[in-house]
Amino acid sequence: MKVAELWTPALLVDAGALEHNLATMAAALPGPRLRPHVKAHKTTALATMQAGHGHRAFTCATTREVEGMVAAGLGDDLLLANEVLDARRLGALADRARITVGVDSAETVEAAAAGGVREVLVDVNVGLPRCGCAPEDAGRIADLARSAGLAVRGVMGYEGHLMLVADADQRRTMTADCMALLSRAAADVGGEIVSAGGTGTYADNTVATEIQAGSYALMDTAYGAVGLPFRQALSVLGTVVSASPPSSEIQPPWVVVDVGLKSLGMDHGNPTVPGATVWFCSDEHTTFAPDEPRSVGVGDRVRVLPAHVDPTVALHAAMHLVDGDGDDAEVVETWPVDLRGW
């Protein structure tokens, strides 16, 4: 099948860029040094490729992601890097897979134990105002967990507020500050694991024993602006359905592609159309002005680049692995985005 035959909008993955990204990361962080985060692609077929590059332990953000990874035979070592108040669905997997969950409070420790989960990491706040206990409280949480019969494998802490810091020196210094907090907690908690980092800090974080990067595989325009060695592999294919009336008083001429708010994650802003200026997105449309007026016409296919990969993927039921640019590019495989939902 050719790209030209796909119904639009359609999520495309450039096979060459994906392979480059997976190989580049596997060279930098081989085997267990990377614990790929599946939330960025929500696709077990893609996780299987990551496993093929040597990474057998994965990070998940939702219970549904954990269940789907186990069902796909990728349950060697799954970390739910999030807190849950109901761990029964996780506990139900404990005989078929190795499941570890984050805890940062008495309530989440209790939920993990009650649900039948056996192993935890203590989640430590390293500066992002989100989940995680205070570094100085981590030892106490670990004790609570052990008292509840849970094995404590170590700590996790996510320096998420640093991922898009563009200045490399600044990012490195700030990452070191965050990881000093996590190291202190790790000393109090014990265990083998210090899990942290992401695509933005994978090369800066020298403290973590494993990095939780996910976006590196498919990338987006926000990460693309940070100067990382990964290529934009993800786009949303659309069909131009309308062009501005020749008489319009609004200038320059615009065209409308059938890629909109329901096929694009919008929290990082508008998508990018190469060779054009994007004006705005509607539910099922993006209006843009080509740099070369009237160079794009009704019926043309356009690849739209999302600003944020994770929520974009969550809007699609499938992604298409394609080989090359243009309408003649071959659709190599079609993968269900099978880890959606909760």
Query: x-or-dash pattern for its own copies, window 257-296, by CB under 8 A?
Result: -x--xxx-xxx-----------x-xxxxx-x---------
Q: Is 247 in the site for its own copies (CB under 8 A)?
A: yes
**3 state SS of 25:** helix
204 binds its own copies (CB under 8 A): no
What sign results for the dihedral spanned by CA atoms 160, 163, 164, 166? positive
What is the C-alpha separation between 286 and 304, in angstroms, rounded? 9
Q: Which of 21, 50, 239, 272 binds its own copies (CB under 8 A)?
A: 239
Query: Is residue 149 a contact point for its own copies (CB under 8 A)?
Result: no
Give the number of other Cβ atoms within 10 Å of residue 232's Cβ.
Answer: 20
DSSP string, 96-124: TS-EEEEE-SHHHHHHHHHHT--EEEEEB
For the bound state, the minimum distance from the C-beta of residue 61 to its own copies, rounded and expressed in Å, comes to 5
Helix (H, G, I), strand (E, B) or coil at 336: strand
Min separation Cβ 173 and its own copies, Å: 18
245 binds its own copies (CB under 8 A): yes
Q: Which of 33, 241, 334, 336 binds its own copies (CB under 8 A)?
A: 241
- Contact segment (CB under 8 A) with its own copies among 25-33, 174-182, 224-232, 235-243 equals 235-243
User: Any contact of residue 25 with its own copies (CB under 8 A)?
Assistant: no
Residue 72 identity: A
Q: Which is nearer to its own copies, 176 or 315 (CB)?
A: 315
Is the separation of the CB atoms in 268 and 278 below 8 Å? no
Stretch that binds its own copies, among 113-121, 146-154, 191-199, 304-312 (CB under 8 A): 304-312
Instruction: Select from 133, 179, 181, 213 the one that contacts its own copies (CB under 8 A).
Output: 133
Nearest Cα neighbor of 196 from 147, 158, 239, 154 is: 158
Q: What is the dihedral of CA 113, 97, 205, 37, to 10 degrees?
A: -110
Helix, strand, coil shares of the chain, percent, nearest 5, are 30, 25, 45
Does 92 bind its own copies (CB under 8 A)? Our answer is no
Among 261, 243, 264, smallest CA distance to 253 is for 243
Cis peptide bond upstream of 252, omega within 30: yes
Q: What phi and psi, each to the nearest 5 degrees, are found at residue 27?
A: -70, -40
Task: For the CB of residue 19, give the shortest distance to its own copies in the complex, in Å.
Answer: 25
Find the binder of its own copies among 169, 192, 299, 328 (CB under 8 A).
299
Instruction: State yes or no: residue 187 binds its own copies (CB under 8 A).
Output: no
Shortest distance, position 27 Cβ to its own copies, whole Å: 27
Per rule CB under 8 A, is residue 250 in the interface with its own copies?
yes
What is the distance between the alpha carbons of residues 7 and 14, in angstroms, rounded to a whole number? 17
Q: Which residues bind its own copies (CB under 8 A)?
A: 7-9, 39, 61-62, 82-86, 104-105, 107-108, 123, 125, 129-134, 136-137, 160, 239, 241-248, 250, 254, 256, 258, 261-263, 265-267, 279, 281-285, 287, 298-299, 308, 310-311, 314-315, 317, 340-342
